[in-house]
Structure 1
Amino acid sequence: METGQVLEGVAASCSPEHHLSVSLGPFTGFISREETALGIAEGSTREIAILSRVGKPVCFTVIGIEETEQGVRPILSRRAAQRQALDNMLAQLRPGQIIPVTVTHLEPFGAFVDVGCGVPSLIGVENISVSRIPHPAARFQVGQELLAAVLDLDPAQGRIYLTHKELLGTWAENAARFQPGMTVPGIVRGVKDYGVFVELAPNLSGLAERDPRLIDGARVSVYIKAILPHRMKIKLLVIDQLPPDPRPRPLEYFVREGRLEHWKYAPDGCVKVGMETSFGD
């Protein structure tokens, strides 16, 4: 308590008033609702942020000690630990820096992640991968450990903005793993009048001829007819439909550490303008 050291324990239960009881060595600590998370007192954080911690580790500092009929009870603050961690991150992180995160919650608009000590951030669905997905659950699972790049920092609002797609490789990096004549599995990510887009990797899709049997999300095997870097295009032929697999595909990172300054998806000499991300200071 005197040093303000951040500790960790498991949230044992949540009371009807949304106070948390936390295992702390031989003691059972108490975190009042207002101290359970940043934004709870102000109403900017939802109550699910408290309820979802039961049975999981939480970080906290000891802010007081009280005597009860059952003995000594430490008074804890998760909010203070989060504030301390967030202040340190905002002071040390830079745009483009690659950090580890853990998925905590999935919504149609993006994936909420823990960047450390329970500090939340969001990876918008448009920043998860180049290949468009209907829901973050098509790419991530709750509890999954990921890498992400800092997109921007807002010290005034105490927010860290993240992106993910830049770590999954450029068009050329992904296309280098395939050759014309190969037959590989893929996932249908868009059915159009002029053809069907099939995802070969999270940051790479090709186009096959229209097939009325196919729907978004269907797994298929495809024959690679041609790879055209100057047009950033892969021509495919659907061979067969495959059984569904509810698990997200394993992620392969082309960048795992350090700091990005600029990322360009399209290959050099391509007539198409692809995605680009500039990470400022």
Structure 2
Amino acid sequence: MQVASDQPIPALLLIGCVFFASLSSILLVLWLRERRKRNPLPLPGQARQELEWELLQSRLEFSEHALRRIAREIHDNLGQMLSVVKLNMHSLLSQLDGEGKELVQETKEIVDLVISDLRQFSQSHKSELMMDQPLQQWLGTELDRLHVPGTLETSLEVDGEEREVETLRKLLFIRMIQEALSNVVRHAEASALRVELHHHPAAVRLRLVDNGMGFNPATVREGNGWVRMKKRAAMIGATLAIDGLPGSGCSVTIEVPYELAPAPAHS
């Protein structure tokens, strides 16, 4: 009887060992996975660079999709509402005279300008259109759009033969240029803007110079626009420099190499 009662014990021990072995294996896998997340194994330089580039491309595709959607919504919805306002004002003009008619006419002209600006904004933020144009052509179109006789004179100087920049890096380069142009229009209070585009054998160099009110270097480097430009420059291996003093205008220089330097290998 004693022997018979001892027989189930090995089976229970076996079941217990299998259970704890399985549990230990699961815990070990989870621990290794968590450790890998916190301390990922270093990849070779080229592999790491390719992975970072793929992640960057995914992020940019998402942000560009969102930007196109916003531009489309602004153009379609806000543009339609402003068109209705314009039609109503046109109807009012036939019912008014004197100062009232003059005021409505002036307001209608402002609405026309806003509609035109919205259309241009929508076009300028369509990345597929920008990518299809040579950089010089796109830049000339942007400067023509910003040019206002007697208010802001714009000019473009180009030298060298243009080379193609990889699509993703060209897009980020253009976004940096748009940021710099926006800063001139919104903050510089400039009456003249000169853009120099230099095509060198290994890089393309762009310089924007305005005659505006300048800036405090310590202040501008804290602004969101400058931070965004620095981040984009780092993403594409570009160099970015900004120079100016209060009352002396401003210059922004962006240089983008045609080829990315290989990432250093980790030991």
The structure with the larger Rg is 2
Fold match (TM-score > 0.5) = no
Between Structure 1 and Structure 2, the one with more strand by share is 1
Between Structure 1 and Structure 2, the one with more helix by share is 2
Larger RCO, structure (CA 8 Å, separation 6 or more): 2
> TM-score normalised to the size of structure 1?
0.21
